[in-house]
C-alpha cells in the first residue's frame, strides 16, 4: 500500500477517457480548439468571474509562469521557509523570473507568521535600492505541513502584502483538498481573499500531467503568453492537457476525489495514533499525515508492504503519509492489520 505521495497514484479513468475522446480528429493547434476554450469557460464559472488561464505540464512550471508574471527580475518573493518553491524546485523560480530572490519566512505548522512577514518586508523596503524590491507573497495551500490556511488567515496575510504593494500568489498543488477541508468556494479562497494568481493543481488529484495558472488580476497576465511560450509550455496539442480538467470538473469529480483523500487521511491518523510511541507533528487538515514513530513500527510497516516518506532529518523518526484520490478502504484495512500485528508483537516482547 503506497502512502508515499499523491504523485504515485494512477490517472483517473475519466481523464484517460477524455484524452482518448480528444484523439479522434484534427483540431486547431496551440489552444485554439473547442475543448481548451470550453475548459477556460469552466474556470470562469468555477471562480465566479472572468479569469485568464494558462495550462502547464508540471507544478514547477505553473509556479514559474505565475511568479515570472508577477515579479520583476530585481524583485523579492516572500514564502514560508518550507515552501515547495524554496525546497523542491531546484531554483526554478529564480531562473524563470530572471533572478528574483525568494525570502524565507518562518511560521508554525507550515503557515507564514504575519508579524514576521511584515518585519521582513519593511526591512527589505528600507534598504532600497540595495535590497531586492518586495514584490510578491506566495502562499502554499495546502501547506508543506499538511495544514490549511483559513480564509481569515489568507485575508490577513494578503492585507499585509497589498498594504506594501505586493501581489499575492497561491501555490495550489493540493487546492481541491484545501477547498473541501474548509467547505468554501474557489472564489472565497482566492480572489475574494486577495489572491492575484493561482497555481491550480490537477496532477495530484487524478490528472495525468495537467496544471493551470489562473490569473484573477488580468492586468498581470497581459504578457504571460510570452512567458508561457518561452518556458516551453505552449503545447501544440493543447487539447490533451485542457481536456483533463474538463473530465475532473464533470460532476465535481475533482472535489469528490479530494474529499475521499481527506476522509481516508483521517482514518490513517486514527489507526496510527493507536500505535504505541506515535505522535502527530501537525493537525490533519487535508490528505497528509505527519508523525513521529519508533523505528520498530516504521520497519514493520515497510516489511508488510506499506510505503511512506521519510521526513525531517535522519534520526528524527519523522514520516509523512499521503493519501491519494483513489486510495481504497482496503489500504486502510491493510494498515490496520499491520499496526495491530506490530502492537501484538511489542506486547509479546514485553511479556518475555
Helix 114-125 to helix 151-163 angle (10° resolution) is: 10
Are 168 and 194 a contacting pair, CB within 8 Å? yes
Other beta carbons within 10 Å of 269: 18
- pTM of the model as a whole: 0.95
Give per-residue pLDDT as tens, 308-328.
999 988 889 999 999 999 998
Are 272 and 293 a contacting pair, CB within 8 Å? yes
Put residue 200 in one of left, alpha, beta given phi > 0 → left and psi -120 to 50 → alpha: beta
Q: Is the pLDDT of residue 267 over 60?
A: yes
Residue spans per domain, the chain: 13-251, 253-351
Sheet strand arrangement including 279-280? 279-280, 288-292, 318-322, 309-311
At 104 the pLDDT is 98
- β-pair type (133-140, 75-80): parallel
- Cα separation of 341 and 139, whole Å? 41
Give per-residue pLDDT as tens, 26-65.
999 999 999 999 999 999 999 999 999 999 999 999 999 9
Q: For the chain, give the mean pLDDT.
A: 95
Q: Is the pLDDT of residue 351 over 70?
A: no
Q: Is the pLDDT of residue 352 over 70?
A: no
| Residue 331 binned pLDDT confidence (cut-offs 50, 70, 90) | confident
Give the distance between the most distant pair of CA atoms in the chain.
Answer: 73
For domain 253-351, give the fold.
Answer: 3.90.1150
Determine whether domain 13-251 maps to CATH 3.40.640.10.
yes
Radius of gyration over every alpha carbon of the chain, rounded to an integer in angstroms: 21
At 342 the pLDDT is 78
Amino acid at each position: 500500500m503506497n502512502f508515499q505521495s499523491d504523485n504515485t497514484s494512477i490517472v483517473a479513468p475519466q481523464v484517460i477517457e477524455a484524452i482518448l475522446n480528444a484523439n479522434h480528429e484534427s483540431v486547431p493547434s496551440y489552444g485554439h480548439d473547442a475543448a481548451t476554450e470550453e475548459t477556460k469557460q469552466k474556470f470562469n464559472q468555477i471562480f465566479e468571474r472572468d479569469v485568464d488561464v494558462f495550462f502547464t505540464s508540471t507544478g514547477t512550471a505553473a509556479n514559474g509562469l505565475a511568479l515570472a508574471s508577477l515579479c520583476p527580475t530585481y524583485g523579492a518573493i516572500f514564502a514560508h521557509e518550507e515552501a515547495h518553491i524554496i525546497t523542491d524546485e531546484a531554483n526554478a523560480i529564480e531562473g524563470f523570473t530572471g533572478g528574483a530572490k525568494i525570502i524565507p519566512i518562518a511560521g508554525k505548522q507550515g503557515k507564514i507568521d504575519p508579524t514576521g512577514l511584515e518585519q521582513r518586508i519593511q526591512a527589505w523596503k528600507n534598504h532600497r535600492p540595495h535590497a531586492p524590491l518586495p514584490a510578491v507573497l506566495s502562499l502554499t495551500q495546502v501547506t508543506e505541513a499538511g495544514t490549511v490556511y483559513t480564509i481569515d488567515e489568507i485575508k490577513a496575510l494578503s492585507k499585509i502584502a497589498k498594504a506594501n504593494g505586493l501581489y499575492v500568489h497561491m501555490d495550489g498543488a493540493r487546492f481541491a483538498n484545501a477547498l473541501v477541508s474548509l467547505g468554501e468556494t474557489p472564489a472565497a479562497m482566492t480572489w475574494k481573499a486577495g489572491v492575484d494568481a493561482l497555481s491550480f493543481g490537477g496532477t495530484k488529484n487524478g490528472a495525468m500531467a495537467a496544471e493551470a495558472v489562473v490569473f484573477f488580476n488580468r492586468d498581470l497576465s497581459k504578457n504571460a503568453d510570452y512567458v508561457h511560450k518561452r518556458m516551453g509550455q505552449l503545447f501544440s496539442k493543447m487539447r490533451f492537457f485542457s481536456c483533463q480538467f474538463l473530465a475532473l470538473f464533470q460532476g465535481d469529480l475533482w472535489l469528490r476525489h479530494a474529499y475521499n483523500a481527506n476522509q481516508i487521511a483521517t482514518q490513517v491518523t486514527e489507526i496510527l495514533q493507536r500505535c504505541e510511541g506515535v505522535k502527530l507533528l501537525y493537525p490533519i487538515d487535508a490528505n497528509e499525515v505527519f508523525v513521529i514513530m519508533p523505528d520498530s513500527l516504521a520497519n514493520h510497516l515497510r516489511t508488510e508492504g506499506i510505503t511512506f516518506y521519510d521526513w525531517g532529518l535522519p534520526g528524527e523518526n519523522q514520516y509523512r503519509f499521503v493519501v491519494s484520490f483513489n486510495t481504497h478502504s482496503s489500504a486502510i484495512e491493510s494498515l490496520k492489520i499491520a499496526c495491530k500485528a506490530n502492537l501484538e508483537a511489542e506486547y509479546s516482547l514485553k511479556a518475555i
